[in-house]
Structure 1
Amino acid sequence: MNSTLSLNRPVRNYTLGSFKNPKLIEARPSRHQLRSHLIDFSKLKWFGNVNSRTGSSVQQQLRDYSCESRRITSRRIRVSSNDAQFGSFPNKGGAESSSFAEFITSERVKVVAMLALSLALCNADRVVMSVAIVPLSLAHGWSRSFSGIVQSSFLWGYLISPIAGGTLVDYYGGKAVMACGVALWSLATFLTPWAAENSLLALLFARAMLGVAEGVALPCMNNMIARWFPSTERARAVAMAMAGFQLGNAIGLTLSPILMSQGGIFGPFVIFGLCGFLWVLVWLSATSSTPDRSPQISKYELDYIMNKRQKSHAVESKPKTKMIPPFRRLLSKMPTWSLIVANAMHSWGFFVILSWMPIYFNSVHHVDLRQAAWFSAVPWCMMALTGYLAGLWSDTLIRNGTSITLTRKIMQSIGFVGPAVALVGLTAAKTPSTASAWLSLAVGLKAFSHCGFLVNLQEIAPHYSGVLHGLSNTAGTFAAIIGTVGAGFFVELVGSFQGFLLLTSLLYFLAALFYIKFSTGERVNFDESADS
């Protein structure tokens, strides 16, 4: 009952000094915060001694506010200090942009924080093998090319699930599908030690199941953000979620050697698997698939989200009733292909760097496994930071009047051209520190892609963002398999990582040109099959 209510009605501002000086009794519109239980009209009788007409008006107005306050607090809604922050609506009915403090303490940010944690676990579980592959290769006598096949087994499963997972996400919502995905990939991670000790086939199957389960993670993230965030905040939200994704790389690469030294080669698999089961319990009990189903959200934040979503024609809160999406119409539009090409190139670079950089530092710069993991982890921390900064800049550009289309093209150009230039510098590095600096620059600038094609998925087709992400992820997985396996064969044939890095740089340039040519930030009509 001690909640402070911010009532969005003009109040005339009076002070005792203003009654002593009649020239100052001019009304000024302002917003006052009144504690509804502290209004005592018996102490307001002195107003009548100054000016009976003015005093009675003020008393009547205060009574109105008191009654309105009691009506608001009597409703069965959660009223908190955040309510006042989100209760600021302009007279025309739209919601104003929230401040950083309001944004960071809101219920929707709690949702994106849980998404970030799930994506951190997602990458930590997959990156463990990038460190474990070195002692496993030595123990079993695997060649570089066969090591690439073992690492790519994750991608075999990842190839299967994104389209089906994206369709399920659009139909059932992100909450349920994400919970199932995390539970399954945590089980696969937890059972990896048992599989590796039994047979190579069992190990490959466990890693493939990990890929199947993790294929739903990014479509679920996109679906939840599209439902919880207005368009002016989505780049920031995606950047926050993807910061967790990149920090998962850093966590996996840095903790894995430490856990291996304490608990054996399979220690990290057990620890990360158990963390995933714990996350599922918190996710199911603390989040909702849409804002209007959340018991924790305040009325004012809900109004803010719904008003903004109505303005930007965002995705409806109800799940799709049509189970099979219109694949032919989706693939008939060039903006769809711009997303597919962008995701394919993004995945190529991502998995090549993720899978091969520990081996690169170990073989090219001759550092031990723990140092190699640290050198490989630093760039992912940089990516988490630059990704959030890119999200802030992207949202600021849109709020200041830059078109969504131009904003996405700027972000994507930086996200592809920047790494292309940095990888050329990496090939000329002579020391591990210099190589890590160039790699950090490449991966850090790569984060701008998250505010390019990754947000663009929600904008061109919010109802099909899940399946579009699935389609582009499938193409990205093909590219990642080719890049991961191809890097091993390329190094065996040519005897150098540098040539493969230069090839990757060229592909980055070509993908940037394709996205600039064919992408758009506008809604695309997928109800017609004509070319856009």
Structure 2
Amino acid sequence: MQPPPETRRDAAENAQWSSIGGEKVILLSASTWGSITMATPLLAHLGSAHLVSMVFSRVLIGLLQGVYFPALTSLLSQRVRESERAFTYSTVGAGSQFGTLVTGVMGSLLLDWCGWQSVFYFSGGLTLLWVCYVYRYLLNEKDLILALGVLAQGLPVARPSRVPWRQLFRKPSVWAAVCSQLSSACSFFILLSWLPTFFKETFPHSKGWVFNVVPWLVAIPASLFSGFLSDHLISHGYGTITVRKSMQVMGLGLSSVFALCLGHTSSFLKAVVFASASIGLQTFNHSGISVNIQDLAPSCAGFLFGVANTAGALAGVVGVCLGGYLIEATGSWTCVFNLVAVISNLGLGTFLVFGKAQRVDLSPAHEDL
């Protein structure tokens, strides 16, 4: 008996990972950018070529990190069941938040104690330690040697199947996912970039470690809880798309309400609470739109997430610049938080109207619509 069409299709589409593998892509990219980060202080002392080498190293790190989350998304879509994806992805998100928190706290201390070079040594070394852990528990030496050999040849062992571009981007649910991811990333980058300045200007006598640490500390359990709640609801019979949309209501809708409150308080304590609630609730996006991409196209989730994440990063740059312009033009932080609310709710509204959880990467004859 032949396997069902969708199984055969997944096997064909996932051939792109058979030559190297998602785990090995993650390991190789992380080990390379970790090494480059540790070498950054050395690159700064290359004489007249230091500027070119520094720019090239940062571009290379961006490219290497660019394949990390698409590879992770593809890996999870292939190996994790639908009812467990949210918690798995949220755990990864919580780990990322924890790494950011540790690096931020230790980076600030090292900057004062040992100079700026120590920050690069620490963050690069932390990345390489994580790579050692992945190598120890997910890979063996034979796997890694094979992966390096494939990369050295410059050609994959198996010919990758073509991504169904037209089929994917004819679906409103795909555009809704991209739009929602764009909105969540843009809102996140605006808050990430401007919250420290907001606290410093609005509450000049406040302690920096409070507003730089507490919101991100809250984000870790919030991310884990969102994943647990999402998978729990799905396992108890709630529709997948209903749960995904509920997570987005929290991640984009309710988080923007707390962002708006930031512009209307004169209390430092309330501001920290509002900022923590907004950042913490944004982690619910890990259980909403981030795993919805895996629902829509598990056979090419890495590609689709890469498109959505790239759009989100570009939108984040524009959003941060626009936020800075509004601050200069109006002198009011309320405009920045209003901008966050508008962007978040545009993405939320689009996802609520057009979002779906049915697969769109199958041939028309086998789509479950």
Report TM bin, short chain: 0.7 to 0.9
CA distance in 2, matches of 1:374, 1:256: 15
Bigger Cα displacement from structure 2, 171-180 vs 497-506: 171-180
Q: Find 1:231's aligned residue among 82, 96, 99.
A: 82
In structure 1, the partner of 2:273 is: 437
In structure 1, the partner of 2:355 is: 519
Shift of 1:348: 0.7
CA distance in 1, matches of 2:136, 2:43: 32
Is structure 2 residue 117 aligned with structure 1 residue 256? no
Shift of 1:490: 3.2
- The answer (yes or no) to whether the contact 2:183–2:346 under 8 Å persists in 1 is no
- The answer (yes or no) to whether the contact 2:241–2:357 under 8 Å persists in 1 is yes
Shift of 1:195: 4.5
CA, structure 1 residues 206+432, in 2 after alignment: closer, same or farther (shift >3 Å)? farther
Q: Deviations over 1:210-255 (max 9, x none)?
A: 2222112222222232233222211111111111111222222222
In structure 2, the partner of 1:457 is: 293
Shift of 1:503: 1.0
Q: Deviations over 1:380-412 (max 9, x none)?
A: 221111111111111111111111111111111
CA distance in 1, matches of 2:302, 2:31: 20
Bigger Cα displacement from structure 2, 225-234 vs 264-273: 225-234
- The answer (yes or no) to whether the contact 1:404–1:522 under 8 Å persists in 2 is no
Q: Find 1:479's aligned residue among 302, 315, 332.
A: 315
CA distance in 1, matches of 2:67, 2:205: 36
CA, structure 1 residues 491+454, in 2 after alignment: closer, same or farther (shift >3 Å)? same
Is structure 2 residue 68 aligned with structure 1 residue 217? yes
Q: Matches of residues 220-369 of structure 1 in structure 2 within 5 Å?
A: 220-288=71-139, 321-367=159-205
CA, structure 1 residues 459+329, in 2 after alignment: closer, same or farther (shift >3 Å)? same
Is structure 2 residue 346 aligned with structure 1 residue 510? yes
CA distance in 1, matches of 2:273, 2:324: 24
- The answer (yes or no) to whether the contact 2:176–2:354 under 8 Å persists in 1 is yes
- The answer (yes or no) to whether the contact 2:70–2:303 under 8 Å persists in 1 is yes
For normalisation by structure 2, the TM-score amounts to: 0.83
CA distance in 2, matches of 1:200, 1:322: 38
The count of corresponding residues between Structure 1 and Structure 2 is 336
CA distance in 1, matches of 2:158, 2:191: 37
Give every structure 1 segment of 4 or more consecutive aligned residues whose post-TM-superposition deviation is greater than 6 Å.
none
Q: Matches of residues 400-439 of structure 1 in structure 2 within 5 Å?
A: 400-439=236-275
CA, structure 1 residues 428+406, in 2 after alignment: closer, same or farther (shift >3 Å)? same
Q: Which runs of 5+ in 1 are unaligned?
A: 1-165, 294-318
CA, structure 1 residues 212+281, in 2 after alignment: closer, same or farther (shift >3 Å)? same
Aligned-residue RMSD, C-alpha:
2.7
Structure 1 residue matching 2:116: 3-state secondary structure: coil
Return the letter of the residue paired with 1:354.
L
CA, structure 1 residues 382+349, in 2 after alignment: closer, same or farther (shift >3 Å)? same
Structure 2 residue matching 1:477: 3-state secondary structure: helix
Structure 2 residue matching 1:266: 3-state secondary structure: helix
CA distance in 1, matches of 2:165, 2:112: 49
Shift of 1:193: 3.0
Return the letter of the residue paired with 2:173.
P
Q: Which runs of 5+ in 2 are unaligned?
A: 1-13, 144-156
- The answer (yes or no) to whether the contact 1:171–1:323 under 8 Å persists in 2 is no
CA distance in 1, matches of 2:217, 2:128: 25
Q: Which has the higher helix share?
A: 2
Q: Computing the radius of gyration over CA atoms, which structure comes out larger, 1 or 2?
A: 1
Identity %: 26
Higher relative contact order (CA 8 A, sep 6+): 2
